[in-house]
Structures are given as structure tokens and as C-alpha cells.
Amino acid sequence: MKIKYPISLKQILLFSFLIILVLGVSTALVSTLVRTDDKIKAEENNLALNGRTAQTVQSAFENMQSNSYILFESFSVVADEKQKKELGDAFFRSNQDILFVSSPETDLLFNPQYEKFAAGVRAFLGMPEVSAVLSSKSADQKVMYFNASQVFEFPAVIFIYKYGPSNDVRNGVVGLNVASLSELMATGSNNTTILVDEKANVLINPDFGSSKTVREDLLPLVEELLKNPKETNAQRPKDGVFTAVHQIKDDLFVITTISEKSVYAVINKTTYRIILVSLAVLFAAIILIRIFSNGITNPIKELVEASSKIERGEFELDMVPRTRDEIGLLTSSFVQMGKGLSEREKLMVSFSKFTNKTIAQKAASGELSLGGENRNATIFFSDIRSFTAMSEKMQPNEVVEFLNAYMTRMVECVNKTGGVVDKYIGDAIMAVWGAPESSGSAAGDALNAVTAALMMRDSLSSFNRERAARGLAPVKIGCGINSGPVVAGQIGSEERMEYTVIGDAVNLASRTEALNKPFATDVLITENTYNLIKDKVIVAEMPGVHVKGKTDAIKMFAVVNLVGRDGAKSIDEVRSIIGTLAPDLSKVNTDDEEKKYNIQA
């Protein structure tokens, strides 16, 4: 039988599952715990960075506005142009990040190092959206900020604020270099900070090369914060991104973000390494399990091979236990079992020589017990003609040698047709078909018995040719066959039993065999057997016989051949083959004392 699921495979699958389960659960727990910790730290760091940046930006803008206002006031009280120039130079030396200032008092006043951008600034201030702010006289208008990076080719912001009394509102315009603030916003390793106004216009972006001037994706967030100012300055996770927002004065928003991918990059890398290590451990474990399983499966394979040998009748096993565990004990027991079966087989073989093999097997297995059962069987008797005269001319060892050679041939015919040799009675053979096992029907058993008798006829012819070649006389036999009810079973005592069949059918078969001599035939069957197989045999009817103990005459039939079988087709051909002459039945004279039959004319 082919093994579909080897033990080694089951062990590998089981241990692999356990290893994967343990490593998987451990990795998942570590990953979850570390991810949670990293998330908390990332949120805290993001919020702290956002807060510091917002405070710095607000301070920078307030300082620039305050310092520029002081300059405007100073210009309003100084009339001398030389003093104004000195005040301007001093102002720009103290506020080097201020690019220019503009007011009614100062007009457009540039930091000397940025005067080259004067034309661009004038063009920028002339833009419609900027001009609209400059033309407004509302003292309540908040400070307006514009991204002027395209004018100065570096991060810059221009903001406009109102100052002065309500009846004389003036515009203060300041250009601010925010490169330092931009660098400050870029200090986070994975964080991104930008400054936007209430319309999500980008004022400061560390990515100076970015072409985005409006962050429409942030507009809903800004609008929500404008409606609910209390929700600012808080962590706001959204779409896999941690977002911290601080609202500073003039409705400006400092927004710091960091993606979950960046937050979890380290733990993902660590998890990947753990998985690789787990796979390596799993591979090593599979190798170790394979080595370990071989120590179990190899002895088991040997036991399987040994069981196959036992099935084939090879009981002598050359197996040696390899281990001192249960498998080693099983191997020792298997070897001992083989020895026991070998001895049993030897005993069975020996026993089978004294009785039929089928009976021997049933007796050994306990299927036969003292007692009998009714069976419909076919009984066969054969006898050697004039054996007494033959044996007187031979030495005892020659007699035994002759009988062994003869019996071997005859018994082979019985065995091949499913019969059972009941017993040997000197030179006679008694055999049975239908007990203890049947072919399935009484007719089948009867046909098998007749077939065996015809095989004996052929085998005897071959045997006689061999004897003739050695100058020995031919052997003649007579076979009697009868079918009927018998009692079959173990006959005897508890100490010694013999399987046999008894009954009138047995006696009639014995007496039928004896009729071959006066009829000059070799195979006779009774009317009982003939009725079972008459459409399958060619026979010659003999005169009716009054058998001793029977009132009615029993018809006898000499078997010529089976229908469709090569060989003799008439009784005369049979007598020619067996070397007998047709008798004159009217002149048969028997001894009254030994008389077993009486022939009807």
C-alpha cells in the first residue's frame, strides 16, 4: 500500500505550524506594542515640533512688525534727509532679514543688499490683489501676508498692516527674508512644516522648489479650524498622516505633518528582519525535524518492509533494534513474532503433510471443534488393483517409495480441483469435495471430483510410461464416486481428533470403487452423482447393482470423459487406455463371504 501522508511530513507540518504560530504571534505582539509606542512618540514629537515652530514664526513676525513701526514713527519726526538715511541704514543693520519697508513716511526703502529686486517689488505691489489691500483705509483690517518667493528667488514674505488713527490710516509694508524660518521648519527628520493663511495659500514651505502655492488638500482643515478655534493646537490624524496644527495671529496656521509610513519605517524594517530570521529558524527547524523524524520513520519503514515479508511468508527477519525506546522494543517484538510465525509455519507445513492444508489451517485457527455438521458432499475412493501381489515382490523400502510416488501424483489431482484428502487406507485414497469447504454447489463439487478422477487417469498413464521405461509392470486403479448427505467434522477425543466424513454416502462410494474390477472400468459414479452433472459428462451406463444394505438397485455409470474434453469418447476407448477387456457380466462369480455386490442381468 502506498503511503499518502508520511509521518515525517506530518511532523514537519506540525512543528512548522507551531514555529510559525509562536514566531508569528511574538512578532505581531512586538510589532503592535512597538507600533503603539512609536505612534505615541511620533504624535508627541510632531506636536512639540509644531508648537515650537509656531512660536518662533509668530515671534519673528511680531518683531518685524514692531521694529518697522518704530522706524516709521522715527521717520515721521525727523526732517533731515541725512538723519533719515542714517536711521534706515541702522535699521537694516539691526534687521538684516528685512528686505525692504514701505510707508508714507519712508516711501519704498530697500535693504542695500536687496536693491536689485526693486523693480520686482514695485511690480508685485502693483498686482491687483496687493493694490486692493493697499487702497483699503479700514483700520480694522488684519495683517495681510503674501508669498514673494518668486520675486526674490528665495523664501520671502511680504506683509501689509495698518497703523495710525482711524481718520488717518496708513499702510506699512514689510518684505521679510524667511529663509531661516524655512530652514527651521525643515529640521524634523521625517516631519514637514508649512505656514499657510486662512485660504490655504502657502507662505513658507521648506521645499522651496515646490510649485504649489495653494494647498487645497488643507483648505477643509483650515476652514474647520476657523469655525472652531478651540480645536487648534492639537494632533489631528488623517488618511495615514499625523497632522499637528497651531493657529497664530492674523489667522495664520503652522501645520506639521509626518506620515505613518515614516513613523513605522523602523519597526517595519525590524519586522522584516524578524520575519527573515524566523524563516531561517523555520528552515533550520525543518532540517532538524527531518533528521529527528528519520530516526523514527526509518525503523518504521523497516517494520513495514518486514510486515510485507511476513505477508509473503518470509518469517526470518534480519532486523536489529537501533534504539532503546518504544520503537526498538517494537522491533525486537517484531523479530520474535517472525520467529514464532516461522515455527508455526513449519509446524503447519509438517501438519499439512499429515492432513489437508485447509483442514490444518482451520484447525490451527480454532475454526474446527469437536463435533460435526451435515453437508452435501461428493466422496471419492481409489484403490490399486492387485497391490497385495505387487507388494509381495518388493522390499519394504521399495513399497514405501512406490506409494509415495504414486500418492504424490494422485493427491496433486485432488488438490488442484479443490478436494480434501480425508485419509490413506494402505494403497487406497479417500477424498471429499464439499467439506470442509465447498465450491458453492453440490453439482460443482461433483464435477470437480470427476475431473480429479480423469486427471488421475492421465497422470497414471504418464506414471506407467515411466515405469515401462524401467521395465516395471503398469499400475491399474479403480475410482468410485458418490454424492449425498454426510456428517462432516472432527471425530475422536479431546486428545486426538481427525477430520472426516461419515454416512451411507461414504459407504456407497467405497462399494462403488470395488465394482470397477468386475466392470473392467477405472472410474465409476453412482446415479446420485450422475444426476448432478449428467449434461457435463460422457458416461456408459452399467447394469444396476444391489448394494449390501440397500433394497433398490443403484445405477452405476462408467465415466468416459467430460463433454468437450479431449480424449476418449466411448467405454471401449477407455478400456483400451487402461488395458482391460470388456467383461461378460453374466459369468461373474464372486465369493459369497466377500460378496458386496450382486449384478442384475
pTM over 0.85: no
Mean pLDDT lowest for which of 25-29, 381-385, 568-572?
Answer: 25-29
Q: For residue 436, is the peptide bond before it cis, meaning its omega torsion is within 30 degrees of 0?
A: yes
- State the cell numbers at 272: 522584516
More confident position, 363 or 472: 472
d(CA 57, CA 63): 10
Q: Which residue, among 240, 236, 483, 458, has the nearest Cα to 380 in the 3D structure?
A: 483
Greatest CA separation for the chain = 186
Of 309, 311, 8, 295, nearest in space to 319 by CA: 309
Q: Which three cell numbers stand for residue 107?
A: 516711501
Give the cell for residue 473. 509392470
d(CA 577, CA 521): 10
Quote the crossing angle between the two packed helices 118-125 and 128-135, to the nearest 10°.
Answer: 70
Among 557, 503, 564, 499, smallest CA distance to 532 is for 557
Write down the mean pLDDT value for the chain.
82
What pLDDT is attached to residue 490?
80
Closest to 508 in 3D by CA, of 478, 541, 480, 489: 480
- Is residue 527 predicted with pLDDT exceeding 80? yes
Is the four-CA dihedral 162, 164, 169, 172 of positive or negative sign?
negative
CA distances from 267 to 27, 31, 563 (A): 11, 7, 94
**Does an H or E element contain 159, and which?**
strand 156-163
Expressed in angstroms, the distance from the first to the final Cα of the chain is 68
When mean pLDDT is compared over 288-292, 335-339, 500-504, the highest value belongs to: 500-504
Closest CA to 323 of 311, 315, 331: 331
pLDDT digits (tens, 9 = 90+) for 39-88: 788 778 888 888 888 899 999 999 989 999 999 989 988 888 888 899 99
**Residue 483 near residue 545, CB atoms below 8 Å:** no
Find the Cα–Cα–Cα–Cα dihedral 261, 265, 271, 275, rounded to 10°: 90
3-state class (DSSP) for residue 248: strand
Residues above pLDDT 70, as percent of the chain: 85
pLDDT in tens, 261-285: 777 776 777 777 778 887 887 788 7
Digit-coded pLDDT (tens) for 159-187? 999 988 888 889 999 999 998 888 888 76
